[in-house]
Amino acid sequence: MGLFVDENGIPVSYNMFPGNTQDKTTFKEMIKSSLNKQGFEKVVVVADNGMNAQENMYLLVTNGNGYVVSKSVKQSWTTKPSWNQTYPKVENMKSLSEWALEEDGYEYTYNDSKIMTFKSKSRTYQRELKDKEGNSVTITEKEVLYWSKAHYDREVKQNKKFIEYLESCKDHPDKLKDKQRKSQEFIKVIQVDKKTGEVIKTKGVVVLLEEKINEYKSTMGYYSIVTSEAELADKEIINRYHGLSRIEDSFRVVKSDLEGRPIYVWTDEHIRAHFLVCFVALTMIRVIQYKVLVHEGKTAAKEDGWESGITAERLAEALNRFEANHIGDGYYQLSEVSGDLKLILDSLGMSCDLVLPDLGQIQGLKNLFASFIL
């Protein structure tokens, strides 16, 4: 499923693709089949590095839209690309690693203990985008680089075992068989005579490439974002990119709360129907969450992700408990309205003070609830 949501996390459109389709290809099709047919005045697409392809960016800007996408810091750092080739209109543009390690231009944030927790800077330049046919357009692009202590601490923790594994390969080369593909850029196997040190065809010995490992460590905590919206402030660009967590959370909700996976149908029509139900349900969840946020005077944006107001799990649990039990003579008794259910109804502006309603009144309540959502 390819999914577009707005800045409040409310789904806008979706499409279905075979499981073996590359992300960059699905992105292109989503732009053509969804965005360009919606009639929006302008859309700024926020996406991760998997969607960062020149052809996708070209397709967006030439249709009057824009982008905020991440760029791989680790790849840009270690490959040291030629900026004269990548950005031919830019003179003496420094590589990401050189630019990042220069402290000039950074704005710093410190906590109460005067420990730096965040720093960022940006640069603006002219970039030429091309499609596969060779058509080109020159735009002003902005790159924002930032370092976060929270992200750094998390990456150090995540990579601790891998770094220890690399160190252990010096004494135990056989371990390379386990993670050879992941570790090959950090090690080199040479043939040496252990007695003389002469390089000959004997037994393989692992040489740890300390420089490569140090480069890898130095990228931890850094993130790079590029955007066509060069007039936006750095903080606004970073906040917009952090909003990408809305998409990640949407897929989590579809897979878990809405039981989108696994799929127990096989025909194309049934699979599409299954995900259509998931899409409609997700949209209803997001609308209720948005109304809860408005009711509480909050916004969806948060510096480290987004605010939902009420989780999909709590929302579903509250609505599932909202029942009408038949007590005889055509009258019903409604569930007590409290806790999360009261929060939801208050957010929708609904009063539920029915005392022993009949079936017609209950049906009217259901219709009213649907009208507030849809």
Average pLDDT of the chain? 82
Question: Are the C-beta atoms of 265 and 271 separated by less than 8 Å?
Answer: yes
- Beta carbons within 10 angstroms of residue 217's beta carbon: 12
- Beta carbons within 10 angstroms of residue 131's beta carbon: 15
Question: Are the C-beta atoms of 292 and 343 separated by less than 8 Å?
Answer: yes
What's the mean pLDDT in 282-308?
A: 80
Cross-strand partners of 121 = 145
272 found inside a domain:
no
276 found inside a domain:
no
274 found inside a domain:
no
What amino acid is encoded at 102 in this protein?
Answer: E
DSSP 3-state assignment of 361? helix
Domain boundary among 218, 235, 250: 218
Q: Which secondary structure element, helix H or strand E, spans residue 161, and what is its range?
A: helix 149-168
278 found inside a domain:
no
Q: Which secondary structure element, helix H or strand E, spans residue 79, and what is its range?
A: helix 73-79
Q: pTM here?
A: 0.75
- Shared domain for 20 and 100, answered yes or no, is yes
119 lies in which domain range? 2-147+221-266
d(CA 331, CA 88): 77
- Shared domain for 204 and 225, answered yes or no, is no
Domain boundary among 185, 218, 251: 218
Which of 50-54, 100-104, 282-286, 292-296 is least confident? Answer: 50-54
d(CA 42, CA 243): 18
- Shared domain for 214 and 74, answered yes or no, is no
Burial of 7 (0-12, 13-18, 19+ CB in 10 A): middle
- Shared domain for 129 and 245, answered yes or no, is yes
- Shared domain for 313 and 368, answered yes or no, is yes
- Shared domain for 70 and 203, answered yes or no, is no
- How do strand 331-334 and strand 324-328 relate by DSSP bridges? antiparallel
Tell me the per-residue pLDDT of 102-139, one tens digit each, with 9 for 90 and over: 899 999 999 999 999 999 999 999 989 988 888 999 99
Tell me the per-residue pLDDT of 331-344, one tens digit each, with 9 for 90 and over: 988 888 889 988 99
- Shared domain for 230 and 251, answered yes or no, is yes
The one-character DSSP state at 335 is P
Q: How many domains does the chain have?
A: 3
273 found inside a domain:
no
65 found inside a domain:
yes
275 found inside a domain:
no
- Shared domain for 212 and 339, answered yes or no, is no
Asked if the model's pLDDT at residue 3 lies above 80, the reply is yes
What's the mean pLDDT in 147-163?
A: 89
d(CA 296, CA 107): 33
- Shared domain for 225 and 192, answered yes or no, is no
- Shared domain for 210 and 228, answered yes or no, is no
- Beta carbons within 10 angstroms of residue 116's beta carbon: 12
Tell me the per-residue pLDDT of 63-99, one tens digit each, with 9 for 90 and over: 889 999 998 777 766 554 444 445 555 566 788 888 8
- How do strand 187-192 and strand 301-302 relate by DSSP bridges? unpaired
Question: Are the C-beta atoms of 265 and 276 separated by less than 8 Å?
Answer: no
CA dihedral sign of residues 168, 171, 176, 177: negative
- Shared domain for 197 and 258, answered yes or no, is no
Tell me the per-residue pLDDT of 189-246, one tens digit each, with 9 for 90 and over: 666 665 665 655 555 555 666 777 777 788 888 999 999 999 999 999 998 888 887 8
CA 78 to each of CA 13, 48, 96, 284: distance values in angstroms, whole numbers, following the listed order: 37, 19, 9, 45
**Residue 271, C-beta contacts closer than 8 angstroms, at least 6 positions apart:** 16, 263, 265
128 found inside a domain:
yes
Asked if the model's pLDDT at residue 164 lies above 70, the reply is yes
Q: Residue 86's pLDDT is what?
A: 52
Q: Residue 72's pLDDT is what?
A: 79
- Shared domain for 40 and 138, answered yes or no, is yes
